[in-house]
Chains A and B, each alone.
Chain A
Amino acid sequence: MTGTPTGLSQAATSNRRPIETARNDFPILDQTVAGKPLVYLDNAATTQKPRRVIDSLRHYYEHDNANVHRGIHELSERATRQYESARDKVRDFINADVREEIIFVRGTTEAINLVAQSYLRPILAAGDEILITEMEHHSNIVPWQLVAEQTGARLRVAPITDSGELLLPTLAEMIGPRTRLLAVTQVSNALGSINPVADIVRLAHEQAVPVLVDGAQAVGHMPVDVRAIGCDFYAFSGHKMYGPTGIGVLYGRRDLLEKMPPWQGGGEMIRSVSFEKTEYNVLPHKFEAGTPHIAGAIGLGVAIDYIEDLGRSAIECHEQDLLAYATGALARVPGLRLVGTAPQKAAILSFLIDGLHPHDISTVLDREGVAVRAGHHCAMPLMARLGIPGTTRASLAFYNKPAEIDALVRGLLQVVAFFNRGRAGG
């Protein structure tokens, strides 16, 4: 599992659905933008949804909509069954030990905030340390800053190399007697770097420090096994893995979750309430106050079915092929420099072009039908570390085609020609 995260940990089996035709499952991709075929390369922001997921939302609202865990009637039982079945699918998908370890939340951000406030805040004292890395997304920085402010704890930041790799020996040295948690992303949303999270967990556990892994950019693109990683918490979002927005998952080790207080109060999370005392519900309901995003959870379950039908190893292989193709193709654009060139990379290509600002690049690409992201990618401290204001980022999914990479490169060549017109010697 460790060391070779892009390797074939499970050989793609031959009875899977072929990936090449899976693009047809995504109705949104079949459209034109500004008169050009849409080329959607902003998958790290959100992925598109296969028809099966879209249909499942519609089916739920048309046939089964009811509140869960409450009604003594057929619809409520159906809704509850499907909602809880989605939890089982998530458990299997990330290989958690028991279903009680799967908490439905709004997304990665909420999952991390839950851990910050419910797990960490009660045990933090002034002078304690929370360790993160320079490549974290704002959602894996700010919740820790908040809890640090509330408790007088200190946020420490492990450095990366210029190519976007974590320095493991330095990270190991920074884990000290005051470290109460290490929070690290599995895949950098801005650089694509894949971190050896199982190795990192081992280093932290040697010093009895628990680890939260931000899996937002990993879970839809490669096999993920939380027990093989060994992490204590794992957070991810449905919408970055072909599921609906507004639903995500916090995985937490059961013994930790049992000890944690609820972080939101309300219905669903209680066993009995009186004005004198409230007894909390058991896991996982203790952390799911209020009516949950039932349709979202069901849709997430269907997204998992969809991914498993294709096979995560097959998805990973295909995306690695696309990454290799795109890396070669972008080299043809004069003045282009990739930002993030770690040897282990997911299919995310951040780049700069000499003399051109990412926003100007993406405005021109948009008129060519090519959707990319421009800016700081919610990682302003990382951009500051790299000494750049932002990048243009093409992030791929298995449904992208080499022809779309070609369209990106054609667009970029036009960008360069367009903006360099009238320049001396150009």
Chain B
Amino acid sequence: MDPELRELYQDLILDHGRQPRNFGPLPGYSHRLEGVNPLCGDKLVLYLKVVDDRIEDISFEGAGCAISMASASLMTERLRGRSVDEAMALFDPVHRLLMTGELRPAANSEPGDENLGKVRMLAGVSAFPSRVKCATLAWHTLRAALSGESKPVSTE
């Protein structure tokens, strides 16, 4: 099998794709936002329970490919318990990782960079330009939800 495919579909990604964590509606949420990728029809709903600028709880539901499910699942794991500022600060480094497969050089690193944790496992998506949006959908939805958007987010 193609090495780039192995890099993309690592065991951890397949595991999160099959059994997404934090899956399902979140009772008592403070933010709820829909994200859609109109190109493929993938759709997810992100729930956040923000208390005193801290993400006390987070979940999502929806249907999509292994990449979009795993990306959302890993995101929710990463963000539970973080501050809203920390979560927002992660967007750029994650976006860069998914687009280029690279983290910012250490010399220029910003606070978010070292906080990616297992989200780094999605770096392989950068070799598949037609799949990048599958991975960014959850993060676009997150940023819009925390910015107070109420209209569904689209990757287009």
Q: Which residues of A contact B (CB under 8 A)?
A: 34, 355, 357-360, 363-364, 367, 374-376, 380, 383, 389-390, 414, 418-419, 421-423
**Of B63-71, B80-88, B99-107, B139-147, the one touching chain A:** B63-71
A380 to B39, CA, bound (A): 11
- A-B contacts, 28 listed (Cβ < 8 Å): A34-B2, A355-B18, A357-B64, A357-B66, A359-B42, A359-B65, A359-B67, A359-B134, A360-B65, A360-B66, A360-B67, A363-B5, A363-B128, A363-B130, A363-B131, A367-B4, A374-B40, A375-B39, A376-B41, A380-B41, A383-B41, A389-B42, A389-B64, A390-B41, A418-B9, A419-B9, A419-B14, A422-B15
Query: 0/1 per residue, B1-40, Cβ < 8 Å to A?
Result: 1101100110100110110000000000000000000011
Are the C-beta atoms of A359 and B14 separated by less than 8 Å?
Answer: no
CB-CB < 8 A to A357: which residues of B? 64-66
Please judge, given known A-B contacts A367-B2, A375-B39, A380-B41, whether A389 and B66 are in contact too, CB under 8 Å. Answer: no
A383 to B128, CA, bound (A): 26
Are the C-beta atoms of A418 and B5 separated by less than 8 Å?
Answer: yes
Are the C-beta atoms of A375 and B41 separated by less than 8 Å?
Answer: yes
A426 to B152, CA, bound (A): 39
Q: Which residues of B contact A (CB under 8 A)?
A: 1-2, 4-5, 8-9, 11, 14-15, 17-18, 39-42, 63-67, 128, 130-131, 134
A7 to B4, CA, bound (A): 46
Closest partner residue, chain A, to B69 (CB atom): A357
- In the assembled complex, the CB of A366 is this many whole angstroms from the nearest CB of chain B, namely 8
CB-CB < 8 A to B41: which residues of A? 375-376, 380, 383, 389-390
Are the C-beta atoms of A389 and B63 separated by less than 8 Å?
Answer: yes
Are the C-beta atoms of B11 and A364 separated by less than 8 Å?
Answer: no
A376 to B41, CA, bound (A): 7
CB-CB < 8 A to B11: which residues of A? 421-422
A389 to B134, CA, bound (A): 14
CB-CB < 8 A to B64: which residues of A? 357, 389
Q: Which of A359, A374, A414 contacts B1 (CB 8 A)?
A: A414
CB-CB < 8 A to B8: which residues of A? 363
Please judge, given known A-B contacts A357-B66, A360-B9, A363-B131, whether A375 and B2 are in contact too, CB under 8 Å. Answer: no
Are the C-beta atoms of B5 and A367 separated by less than 8 Å?
Answer: yes
Are the C-beta atoms of B9 and A359 separated by less than 8 Å?
Answer: no
Are the C-beta atoms of A376 and B2 separated by less than 8 Å?
Answer: no
A34 to B3, CA, bound (A): 12
CB-CB < 8 A to A359: which residues of B? 40, 42, 65, 67, 131, 134
Are the C-beta atoms of A364 and B5 separated by less than 8 Å?
Answer: yes
CB-CB < 8 A to B14: which residues of A? 419, 421-422
CB-CB < 8 A to A383: which residues of B? 41
CB-CB < 8 A to A34: which residues of B? 2
